[in-house]
Structure 1
Amino acid sequence: MESITWPFLLLHGSEDQICSPEASQEFYKKARSNDKKLKLFPEAHHNLFLEIPEVRREALDDITDWIKERLPKEDI
């Protein structure tokens, strides 16, 4: 994990029973990237896109915003 230096976004449900939210938190802490973001969705499970509409929309908005923030300004 310490060798990770590229930008990344981690979105994770706090109640995920398949992949550990704590592992995502550890990955985030250990990665050396200067451009990284971790967001935990309270009470959400493994697949954020199968959650209630509000969680699904927020996850999609987070992904879209994260990508748009990194595009060259003339491409937006």
Structure 2
Amino acid sequence: MALSAVQSRIVECLIRNPGALVPRADLIACLSEEPSTPTRNALDLHVTRIRRKLAPLGLAVKAVRGRGYRLHASED
């Protein structure tokens, strides 16, 4: 499955900070060129879809409750 344009930007932002916490505000800032800024719920939905697409590649996106997300190699 291919990533959408919005999903690609989110993943690029996470890749620039491998293993590190990327705050929600930073992820939303990565989408500043998009026609509309996503809401918190929209960001969560994009991340859920990204997780499904990255899992077969051995990558996982973990949430840090109330703070943001981090990308790392999956533990499976």
Q: TM-score range by the shorter chain?
A: 0.3 to 0.5
Question: TM-score normalized by structure 1?
Answer: 0.34
Question: TM-score normalized by structure 2?
Answer: 0.34
The structure with the largest alpha-carbon Rg is 1
Flag the structure with more relative contact order, 1 or 2, with Cα contacts below 8 A and sequence separation at least 6: 2
